[in-house]
Amino acid sequence: MAEAKVPKILCVALLLFTSAAVAAEAGFAIHAADLMDQPFIDATKTGSVVANEHVEIVQRQGAWVRVAAGGRTGWLRNLNVRMGTATLPDPKGGTNTSFLTTGSSGRTVTTGVKGLDEENIKNATPNAAELSTLSSLGATPDEAKALAASDKLTENQIDFLKKGKVK
């Protein structure tokens, strides 16, 4: 179908003129799903992706991301996309030790420079002066509301979510 034949150059042009467009990011579909022609649940299906299929994310729009996948394009659920490598980490494995030394930097995960790593915290002693500075910060509810009003933020009434069952 026509959607699938959109040349790459046109995708790039789309990117430039869409406010929610992002630099294309490499990702993967978490599970098999339909590609839709619009970012809506009841939109028309334009194709599909399989689990762990490589996708290029070209646009983010709320619950949806627009992707290019093997010459097809369409919208996928945002919650069906991950980055990372082609193989999923073992969900039971905790921190994936096989990844520890494969980063582009070649360093292991515990050698952060000038950072805030595990050793920094293990060796930390409380800094009362910094706590005093932190305590002097803070915003009153009125200050927070004033900023939200000037930024025209919309408040919504939404119930908290119950735990769901992962398929």
Partner 1 sequence: MNRSNCSPLRAAVTAVTILACCVSTPAFAQFGAFGDLVGKAKSVGKVGESFRKISEQEEIKMGGDLAALILGAAPLSRDSRTQAYVNRLGRWLALHSDRPDLPWKFGVIDSPDFNAFSMPGGYVLITKGLLDRMRDEAELAGVLSHEISHVVLRHHISALQRVLRNEGLSGMQQYFHPVGGGLGGQFATALMNAGRTMYTQGLNEGDEYEADRMGVVIAARSGYSPFGLVGVLQTLSDKAADPAYALDVKTHPDPVSRIQQLDAAMGTKLDAVPGVVENTPSFIELRTPPKAPAGVKKRPRKGK
Report 6-35 residues binding partner 1 (CB under 8 A). 20, 22, 27, 30
Helix count and strand count (H, E) for the chain: 4, 7
From candidates 63, 70, 71, 87, binder to partner 1 by CB under 8 A: 63
- Tell me how far apart the alpha carbons of residues 136 and 32 are, in angstroms, rounded to a whole number: 51
Q: How far is the CB of 167 from partner 1 (least distance, A)?
A: 7
CB 34 within 8 A of CB 40: no
- Tell me how far apart the alpha carbons of residues 144 and 138 are, in angstroms, rounded to a whole number: 10
CA distance readout (Å), 77 to 85, 89, 131, 146: 19, 21, 42, 34
138 is an interface residue for partner 1 by CB under 8 A:
yes
From candidates 2, 16, 83, 86, binder to partner 1 by CB under 8 A: 83
116 is an interface residue for partner 1 by CB under 8 A:
yes
137 is an interface residue for partner 1 by CB under 8 A:
yes
86 is an interface residue for partner 1 by CB under 8 A:
no
* 1-9, 43-51, 68-76, 123-131 -> range binding partner 1 (CB under 8 A): 123-131
